[in-house]
Amino acid sequence: MKTLKHLSILFVAILTFSCSTDDDTNPVNTDDLNNLEKIQELSNDSHIVELYSESGILQQGYNAISLRIKDKNSDNFVTDASINWNPIMYMTDKQHSCPKSEVVKSVGKQNLYNGYIIFQMASNDSEYWKLTIDYSINGNDYSVSETIQVESSDKQRVTSFMGTDNVRYVLAIVEPSSPAVAVNDMIVGLFRMENMMNFSVVDDYTIKIDPRMPSMGNHGSPNNVDLTQKADGFYHGKLSLTMTGYWKINLQLLNQTSEVLKGEEVTENNESSSLYLEIEF
């Protein structure tokens, strides 16, 4: 019995050493997805393209999206690719794209790439989005294209409108993504529709904000700061939220000469602007 006991102890020791040695020689993959959830995979004969976001879904409005490309033959992820993407909405009577960023390598990551897409509308039973990703690896060109599901948002996170200058704009909220009872950093994207397939960043405008709580006598809040453009191309300001609940963020869009292109001031006789975004928390 003593011999059996000693052999058992020896076996456990060998197993423990073996596991420790394996961990040292085969370190855990350092490509951290930072708590991202997989949205879906797009596939062709050579590669699998994995799409990720924090929520694991695509939604009407602003979407920060990460992706990585797996080689089907080697099962390795591609570390050096040049990537472009193009989302197209197939409607019953027409097609259009939406505002989107370039796809760039994620800072500090070996095989993760990121960018954003702003979907003006959600998928429905008869109209759908298709995402095409064109990419180049070592001088070889590839493409993958599949239908993607864009969920509707229960609050207005994006709006498309015609200004008094006869230009169509798209405006979407980026932050706060997790609003709090505080003076929040507010960020929005503002884009000009050049045509059905191309959208460009609008430079040097001003977006006035006036957050109100319609269910609480339409009261406002102090210490808000109107949005102006920063170096990243987005418009930044401060959004004061004094209590939890539903907030309607009334907006006015002004061009470089301070001409109001869309939106109205909130007054006693005008309780809301025709240009607005919504937050509820």
pLDDT of 11 reads 38
**Statement to judge: residues 168 and 276 lie in one domain:** yes
**Statement to judge: residues 181 and 251 lie in one domain:** yes
**Statement to judge: residues 194 and 104 lie in one domain:** no
In a domain, residue 146? The reply is yes
pLDDT of 31 reads 53
Residues 246-264: tens digit of each pLDDT: 999 999 999 999 999 999 9
In a domain, residue 63? The reply is yes
In a domain, residue 6? The reply is no
CATH of the domain at 90: 2.60.40.10
In a domain, residue 79? The reply is yes
pLDDT 10s digit of each residue in the chain, 281 long? 444 444 344 333 433 434 443 444 333 344 579 889 999 999 999 999 999 999 999 999 999 999 999 999 999 999 999 999 999 999 999 999 999 999 999 999 999 999 999 999 999 999 999 999 999 999 999 999 999 999 999 999 999 999 999 999 999 999 999 999 999 999 999 999 999 999 999 999 999 999 999 999 999 999 999 999 999 999 999 999 999 999 999 999 999 999 999 999 999 999 999 999 999 99
**Statement to judge: residues 198 and 124 lie in one domain:** no
In which domain, by residue range, is 219 found? 158-280
**Statement to judge: residues 53 and 166 lie in one domain:** no
pLDDT of 34 reads 84
DSSP the chain: -HHHHHHHHHHHHHHHHHHHHHHHHSPPP----TT-EEEEEEE-SSEEEEEEESSSSEESEEEEEEEEEEETTT-PBPSS-EEEEEEEEE-SS-EE---BPPPEEPTT-SS-EEEEEEESS---SS-EEEEEEEEEETTEEEEEEEEE-EE--SS--EEEEE-TTS-EEEEEEEE-SS--SEEEEEEEEEEEEEETTEEEE--S-EEEEEEEBGGGTTB--SS-EEEEE-TTSSEEEEEEE-SSSEEEEEEEEE-TT--EEE-----SS--S-SSEEEEE-
**Statement to judge: residues 218 and 104 lie in one domain:** no
pLDDT of 20 reads 40
Kindly report whether the global pTM for this prediction surpasses the value 0.85. Answer: yes
**Statement to judge: residues 268 and 162 lie in one domain:** yes
